[in-house]
Amino acid sequence: MKKTLILIGAGAGLGNAVAREFAEHDFRVALVARSKEHLDEYEAELKAEGYEVMTRAADALYPETLTKAIREISAEWGTADALVYNVGITTPDGKQEITSELLMQRYQIDAASAYHCASLVATDEFAKKKGAILFTGGGFAKTFQPILFLKPLCIDKAALNAMNIVLHHELEPKGIFVGSVLVSGVIAPGDEKYDPALIAKEYWKMYTERNAFEVVY
């Protein structure tokens, strides 16, 4: 039976590249994103390439929608083997005021919902399967070089990095691997380093080697 990847934050860039990377290694992939219309497009593309795909619409601002999506995926395909949380608001701040309300909304999307998804999948059965939970982090969370036009994202990715460390040490004794790929550049198709397909290989490497639990890419 094929293994299963649940990917939260499907998208034409890194998200779908990670899905393809795992699918190339005989995984079936469950894609989760906000837009059903986009998900339908991604599903058609990946199925045309010969991959087994399922999609569910959910919004990381509302954790209950993620709960519903993950439970539906698990009911149909069983306990997953890997979860990738690839969500982050990368729209430049512009002139908008960075209020505490905005920060709380962004934190829910960028970080708190990552913890929520990890908690949902980190079951005893997931542990028996030596499951892995992988996050998309930000390089500035490690290098301490903030991107000043992405202030909420910088704050949240720093929190996500701390969460990764905490969860790694908490879940490792159970046999669950937790790790984060901290992307430190602008993701761009065709770029010699930051092409999504190249970055995606780091997720597969982390999943298979289960060695370094944080990698600055």
pLDDT band of 156, cuts 50, 70, 90: confident
Q: Is the pLDDT of residue 144 over 60?
A: no
Q: What is the mean pLDDT of residues 30-40?
A: 97
User: Among 213, 182, 211, 179, which Cα is nearest to 199's?
Assistant: 182
148 versus 78: the higher-pLDDT residue is: 78
Q: Average pLDDT for residues 202-216, to the nearest whole number?
A: 94
The confidence score (pLDDT) of residue 34 equals: 96
Q: Summarize the confidence of residues 191-200 as an average pLDDT.
A: 90
Q: How would residue 89 be classed by pLDDT, with cut points 50, 70 and 90? A: confident
Cα–Cα distance measured from residue 156 to residue 111, given in angstroms and rounded to the nearest whole number: 6
Residue 70, classed as helix, strand or coil, is: helix
Domain regions of the chain by residue span: 3-216
Given CATH 3.40.50.720, say whether it is the number of domain 3-216: yes
Angle between helices 14-24 and 36-48 (to 10 degrees): 30
The model carries a pTM of 0.92
